[in-house]
Structure 1
Amino acid sequence: MLCRLHQFIGHMEQLRLSDREHAHLRALCLFSPDGVPDFLTRKLQDYQAKVLRSLRTTCQPDDERVATLLLQLPVLRTFTGTFIEDVFFVGFVGDVSIDEVIPYLLNAER
């Protein structure tokens, strides 16, 4: 699984995403309607449609780039939340659930 993550990261680096493209892909992931209650599905689909329109505008006139970027998103679905948490947060916060740490980080004094 870690090897696939390294391959994915390498491929994303080769694509040389702009900050805007990166933000669009993050928003598409954030507003994914998968696994949410039915009453939220339509709203999230609307948000995704808006983000997609904005991504297309950002990448104009290169429709192939939009397709290439969007085809990267299914790869992310192969990584479980637990795997991502283990890879990125255990070294940072120790062997603690990220669900327990986020509220603490959000309330920490700056």
Structure 2
Amino acid sequence: MRRDVFNAIADPTRRSILMSLTKESQNVNALADRFDITRQAVSLHIKYLQQCGVITVKKEGRERYCKLEAQKLSEVADWLEPFRKMWTGKFNQLEDLLDELQSKPRKEP
């Protein structure tokens, strides 16, 4: 089965693991401690993320350290870009409308 970045972010636990790796690499045990699931389940999520190419796992002694490969996540940003532009345009239209309504003099009752 082909796995990609969208498969990686489809699960809330995997998204949380990715967020945990944004500041620094972490070992598998440290990541597992953050979740209310078994270490084995976290290891399976890590394996899945590695297969998707969004993290790398490096063995150092007896520990395995996970590192975020953020450039791979740019695929999501690229896919979202047309939607961001659409919403930016809609918010700009709303801002223009609000400015127009606020600039009109109010009629006294």
Considering only CA atoms, is the larger Rg found in Structure 1 or Structure 2?
2
TM-score (norm 2): 0.39
Q: Which has the higher strand share?
A: 2
